[in-house]
Structure 1
Amino acid sequence: MRFALAALAMAVMAASPAHAQPGGEALQGFADRALAGYVRPAAADFEAATASLSADVATLCETPGEASLQTAQASFRKVAEAWAGLSFLALDPLRQDDRQARVFFWPDPRGVTLRQVQGVLAEEDPAATLPAELRQKSVAVQGLGALEFLMFGSGSETLAELPMSFRCRYAQAMGENVHQVAQELQVAFAEDGAFASEFSAPGADNPLYRGPSEPVRDLIGSAATGLELAAERIVRPAMGESVETARPKTAPFWRSGTTLGYVGHMVGGTGALLQAGGIEAILPKDLSWLERSIGFEIANARAVAGRIAEPIEEAVVDTDGRRDLTALFYSLDNARSLVSEQLMSAAGLKAGFNALDGD
């Protein structure tokens, strides 16, 4: 019934006459608030999480043991969840220098990360233990996907046994590398940085944004991207049409048992981004229901993701788990539709915008 009512509301919206669109001041206000209230704090959280991970992996290498390994693994999970809050953003600092791919090379349908990381381990390439040289290698061997395999994959138990092993020194270099990228992002998003000035002052001479609708397009489009990624690239392939066709190992962070935590933080990030911007300020009064509807679907998706027991490979073969994954998918898809179609249209942006077109 809830899905039918949501569909009816969308149909009424589509059939309604055109509404007054927000002016440039309202649009720029939304963009500035979202940058200050969500993007910068998310970048700071990611930097802090990666700093802890880097320190904990260094401790593990120096004083190996089960307790040190568990501490480092817990730090890794926190980094994965912090990254979820930034991963969906289509903003220039994340695109520069391949930062998104260097932090987490995903989707990886061909298994490039596993193949290349196993090659590094087999060869014990000393360059992989030096952060500056690791940065020159393939993005697949220097980010969170590679680090997850070292810390949770086959052979990870040796991290608790051997001091300063090659595997641990390689993991340490990756931890330092990801932390450096996090520091770069925090600087790039800073209030006094070049990106902030370009983001807040669109114009004919601005290399990134020519008009006030463009930063908002990137932000709302990013929210739509996060919701679509969660629904179509994570939940749907993982659960498949049946238990027999389920592919849970296509999901991000399945080895560390962080898939649903990652989804929950990504979805929560999309909602927090829109809330920080203040979507009510760019909506006509007769469309105020849209803010509530988006918030409802996002909150529901987070709640469902939070009650599904990890690891994902067990959830997809469990009757209750599959039921909850189905509910999660529909909430994500409903939220995605509201954001990418209704909200984009109400903001005077291209209706039906899909940030993954051409991906």
Structure 2
Amino acid sequence: MRLLPVIALSLGIACPAVAGVNEVLDDHILPSLSEFSVKTQALADAADRDCRPSALQPAFHDAFDAWIPVGDLRLGPSETGALSIAFWPDARGFTGRTLSRLIADADLVVESADAYAEVSIAARGLYALEMMLYDPEFSTYEADSYSCALTRAIASDMALQAAGLSEAWLGDFAETLRSAGEEGNATFLDEDEALRAIYTQILSSLEFTTDQRLARPLGTFDRPRPARAEARRSGRSLRNAVMASEAAHALASALAERDLPEANAALQRVHDTAERVSDAAFQDITDPQARLRVEALALAVEDLRRAIESEIGASLGIAPGFNAQDGD
């Protein structure tokens, strides 16, 4: 990450970094993680009552909705903790193969929470559960089947992960962000580093939406790849892209602690273009007109990223065109 000097800091002008960080933590990240924990526990409880797909699908969507506001964070405990909650993209089809192997072997790993926490991340989290609930190859099981026990194990494991992730943020990492620049904080050596870290996550999320959630299924004009759409089985592809854009905008607004008119207008364009997308799972993008509508949505998300760059990036001393995925 190549950063320009921060003039305000060099002149000794007070920087509102901690306040912006507090807004992000208290209004968005911490309550969203808590909500995700609540919703995944509700999902696990529902699975205990009735593990069949028709019974669990509403609670699954509630949990997925709760995940999206924090799902793209790869910071602190989420840097590794998010991977086993949201293993996607799965370019090599590990999730289906791993679930198939567990079912074929009737693996007793489903009987122990500690044991299930050690299975491949491909068989854990939201996308594994989506396959069990929506994929015809997996979702026809009965209440007394091994697949039912597997579904319960995935739901229970995810609830434990969600609670652990929320506790890790609330317990240590939130304070690490709040205390940026204080003596003994070796993670963030000054207040502005905490701001920059969150800003990077905002841009990374929007880049992930354009590069993966949208460009991945679009493929090329001659070879679209609708089967690569995120959460296509549950019809969440469009929903996830829009919600992730909303989350990035909310984080940016909290970080800036002021109105962002360019970003507000850009988010409205995301909503407007999303309303014109005809298939929420992007399965119709083999049709040129349907493809154009998804391409327009990708451009709108990119416009949102540029608006955020324009309105708050410069105040952080970060050059226009900064790529959050380039590394240090």
TM-score by length of 1: 0.81
> Match of 1:108, SS?
coil
Q: 1:43 aligns with which of 28, 33, 47?
A: 33
Aligned residue type for 1:184 = G
> Match of 1:312, SS?
coil
CA deviation after TM superposition for structure 1 residue 318, in Å: 4.0
Aligned residue type for 1:216 = L
Please tell me whether residue 57 in structure 1 is matched to residue 26 in structure 2: no
Aligned residue type for 1:42 = S
- The equivalent of 2:70 in structure 1 is 86
Count of paired positions: 320
- The equivalent of 1:285 in structure 2 is none
Contiguous gaps of at least 5 residues in structure 1: 1-17, 281-287
Please tell me whether residue 28 in structure 1 is matched to residue 18 in structure 2: yes
CA deviation after TM superposition for structure 1 residue 247, in Å: 0.9
Contact residue 238 and residue 281 of structure 2 kept, 8 A: yes
Aligned residue type for 1:198 = T
Distance verdict in 2 for CA 1:237–1:196, change over 3 Å: closer
Contact residue 188 and residue 195 of structure 1 kept, 8 A: yes
Which segment is superposed worse, 294-303 or 310-319?
310-319
Aligned residue type for 2:270 = A
Per-residue CA shift, 1:139-188, capped at 9, x if unaligned?
Answer: 111111211111111334423xx223111111111111111111122222
CA deviation after TM superposition for structure 1 residue 233, in Å: 1.1
CA deviation after TM superposition for structure 1 residue 319, in Å: 4.8
Q: Relative to total residues, which structure has the larger helix share, 1 or 2?
A: 1
Contiguous gaps of at least 5 residues in structure 2: none
CA deviation after TM superposition for structure 1 residue 240, in Å: 2.6
Aligned residue type for 1:28 = V
CA distance in 2, matches of 1:80, 1:156: 19
CA deviation after TM superposition for structure 1 residue 302, in Å: 3.3
Contact residue 301 and residue 332 of structure 1 kept, 8 A: yes
Per-residue CA shift, 1:211-266, capped at 9, x if unaligned?
Answer: 11111112111111111111111211212332x41112222211111111111111
CA distance in 2, matches of 1:311, 1:265: 13
CA deviation after TM superposition for structure 1 residue 357, in Å: 2.1
Please tell me whether residue 272 in structure 1 is matched to residue 250 in structure 2: yes
Which segment is superposed worse, 69-78 or 324-333?
69-78
Alignment of 1:77-226 (within 5 A): 77-95=61-79, 98-159=80-141, 162-190=142-170, 193-203=171-181, 205-226=184-205
- The equivalent of 1:4 in structure 2 is none
CA deviation after TM superposition for structure 1 residue 356, in Å: 1.8
Aligned residue type for 1:265 = M
CA distance in 2, matches of 1:21, 1:307: 43
Aligned residue type for 1:248 = P
CA deviation after TM superposition for structure 1 residue 19, in Å: 9.7
Per-residue CA shift, 1:34-54, capped at 9, x if unaligned?
Answer: 111111121122112212211
Contact residue 80 and residue 258 of structure 1 kept, 8 A: no
Please tell me whether residue 73 in structure 1 is matched to residue 67 in structure 2: no
Q: 1:232 aligns with which of 190, 206, 211?
A: 211
Distance verdict in 2 for CA 1:121–1:350, change over 3 Å: farther
Q: 1:314 aligns with which of 249, 271, 283?
A: 283
CA distance in 2, matches of 1:75, 1:348: 43
Contact residue 229 and residue 282 of structure 2 kept, 8 A: no
Distance verdict in 2 for CA 1:87–1:259, change over 3 Å: same
TM-score by length of 2: 0.89
CA deviation after TM superposition for structure 1 residue 358, in Å: 5.4
Please tell me whether residue 349 in structure 1 is matched to residue 304 in structure 2: no
CA distance in 2, matches of 1:103, 1:338: 30
Q: 1:293 aligns with which of 254, 259, 262?
A: 262
Q: Structure 1 vs Structure 2: percent identity of aligned residues?
A: 22
Per-residue CA shift, 1:262-302, capped at 9, x if unaligned?
Answer: 1111111101112223343xxxxxxx8xx211221123213
- The equivalent of 1:335 in structure 2 is 304
Aligned residue type for 2:198 = L
CA distance in 1, matches of 2:270, 2:74: 22
Q: 1:250 aligns with which of 228, 235, 239?
A: 228
